[in-house]
Chains A and B, each alone.
Chain A
Amino acid sequence: MLSIPCPWCGDRDETEFRYGGEAEVAYPADPDAVDDPAWREYLFVRANPKGWFKERWVHTAGCRQWFTVHRHTVTYEIRDPQPIGEGAR
């Protein structure tokens, strides 16, 4: 069970959250200009590093806010929780 630091509520159990995957994957600015390989990247490809990973969680059972953390995908250490910035999703 991960203990996840919500920027608003503090450390809470993993069961209060829902996972959002890789952070800072932006919707294409001009969708009509996106070709098939680029759509493939946007729709299906996400980073999957063995090490530090910037990812999103939402505190579904708490404040219901989205935020990002850096989490190590081997040790599961979590640091640097931050509210989602302007324009990011």
Chain B
Amino acid sequence: MTSAWHEPAGSFELPRHDVPHWRDVDPKRAYEVVIVGAGGHGLATAYYLAKNHGITDVAVVDKGWLAGGNMARNTTIIRSNYLWDESAAIYEHALKLWEGLEEDLGYELLFSQRGVLNLAHNLTDVREAKRRVNANQLNGVDAEWLEPEEVKKLVPIMDTSADVRYPVHGATFQPRAGIAKHDYVAWGFARAAYERGVQLIQNCEVTGISVRGGRVTGVETTRGKIAAKQVALCAAGHTTVLGDMVGLRLPIQSHPLQALVSELLDQVLDTVVMSNTVHVYVSQAHKGELVLGAGIDSYNGYGQRGSLHVIEEQLSAALELYPVFARAHVLRTWAGIVDVCPDASPILGLTPVDGLYVNGGWGTGGFKVTPGAGWVYADTIANGRPHPLAEPYALDRFRTGALIDEHGAAAVAH
């Protein structure tokens, strides 16, 4: 629904929704499926378990409140212009779901296909970007290469002159990419899952995972033991903490990833613009805030705050590209905890423990794949085997060496 967002800032009112969307309940003693983590992926998984597979004896448990983790801390960018076939397949599956999601959920998500630019700042960038455009087109993903003057038409406030430290040599453009309102995405999935019988249980921290004879039997929580035939991990940022509970050492490291928003501004930016080389990505939210993301902090961390020098680098890059931003005040900064795999691709599928599934390691890119990951993960759980789109993301790839090296297309160096 892109109808309202071109109005001047200040006149735009976000849609109001009837609340509450679900009822708080105490956990039952047993479920068919317990999903750990009530973020976007957990809620989407629950929804598709119910809708696509008729599995409704499902609890989504969360240590905090619904969608209060990374779902509330991302920069809401949606795109599918990844390099490798395996990535293009799952992210494009997600983008196609996004395109019908408001209708499917009966809920306004402010999904806005305003396009995404990925800037190239040197010859290596240009070559990599053109290669990715070709790869995207071969995979049926919309992508084109834009020269600097074409970039300037889409983003008039950008300094595309040759007089900057990292001049813009062009960009890839995916017109179908865009943004959505993350809270509404969570609430839309939560309401739809709840209406199909899924129980959403907040303030219920998983403290242990019970295994007997190599098979999962349930979870231990701060609100008692909950038996489950299947347990699905969906707690990005904390995937290794959960894996450690059953001695499952995962090739994942958790890092703070910072973002920030400006005060409300008039509409100055009509697309999403990303740059890996100078490390800033920006879009303008529906209400008018500039939403800026940076790279991850180098060190491991769970502190949901990061280092100031990362923000300084991000803002200096933004100011060079968009001189007009110099007058914007930073309103708020924060960090999410991203769990990062060595090949910058996720782990999605089975574990050595029967009935225990893992969905994590999405790094900096988990939001865009929310419906796709939920769809594929639900199918994997319902059938006890990886969905075809999940097969390449097996944990075993770190033994076989069949890595999916997406460092380039991740748009953030990590």
> Residues of A at under 8 Å CB distance from B?
1-2, 13-15, 18-19, 21, 36-37, 39-41, 43-46, 48-50, 53, 55, 71, 73-76
Contact = CB atoms under 8 A, between A and B. Distances in A.
B253 A48 contact: yes
Interface residues on B, range: 20 to 34
Contact of A15 (B244, B254, B309): B309
9 smallest beta-carbon distances between A and B, as pairs = A44-B251, A19-B298, A48-B240, A40-B399, A44-B398, A1-B308, A50-B302, A40-B398, A1-B307
Given A41-B249, A45-B250, A73 B399 contact: no
A73 B309 contact: no
Contacts, number: 62
Contacts of A21: 253, 300
A36 B250 CA distance: 15
Interface string B276-304: 00000000000000000000001111110
Contact of B307 (A14, A50, A74): A14
Q: Name the residue among B244, B299, B302, B303 with the largest chain A CB count within 10 angstroms.
A: B299
Interface in B336-366: 339, 342
B307 A45 contact: no
Contacts of A50: 238, 241, 254, 302
B226 to A, nearest CB: 22
Contacts of A71: 299
Contact of B254 (A36, A48, A76): A48
Contact of B300 (A18, A43, A55): A55
Contact of B342 (A2, A19, A44, A76): A44
Interface string B301-324: 111000111000000000000000
Given A14-B309, A73-B301, 13 more contacts: A1-B309, A36-B400, A40-B251, A45-B251, A46-B253, A48-B241, A48-B339, A53-B300, A55-B300, A73-B254, A73-B303, A75-B303, A76-B301
